[in-house]
């Protein structure tokens, strides 16, 4: 794992936007990482915990590639 990218344990589900949100620390900056969640998913936080390592790996790759959205977020693909 790249030591310049650290993931915080602050996952939450944004019901208004139907997405999971967690943050990463990148060179001292907080970067929001977001996952759009299908409306049919009943337990989004459980889903995240079951796939946390995969989401963190995906986020790390996108951060290293500087694939930020216009709003400064890293948008992950739902697994």
- In this prediction, residue 25 carries a pLDDT of 96
- Secondary structure of the chain in the HEC alphabet? CCCCEEECCCCEEECCCCEEEEEEEECCEEEEEEEECCCCCCCHHHHHHHHHHHHHHHHHHHHHCCCCCCCCCEEECCC
pLDDT at 39 over 50: yes
pLDDT at 1 over 50: no
The full set of domains in the chain, from first to last, is: 3-74 (3.30.160.140)
pTM: 0.91
């Amino acid at each position: 794992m790249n030591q310049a990218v650290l993931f915080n344990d602050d996952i939450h589900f944004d019901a208004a936007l139907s997405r999971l949100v967690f943050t990463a620390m990148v060179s001292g900056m907080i970067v929001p990482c977001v996952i759009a969640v299908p409306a049919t998913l009943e337990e989004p936080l459980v889903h995240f915990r079951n796939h946390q390592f995969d989401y963190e790996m995906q986020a790390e790759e996108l951060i290293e590639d500087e694939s930020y959205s216009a709003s400064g977020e890293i948008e992950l693909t739902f697994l």
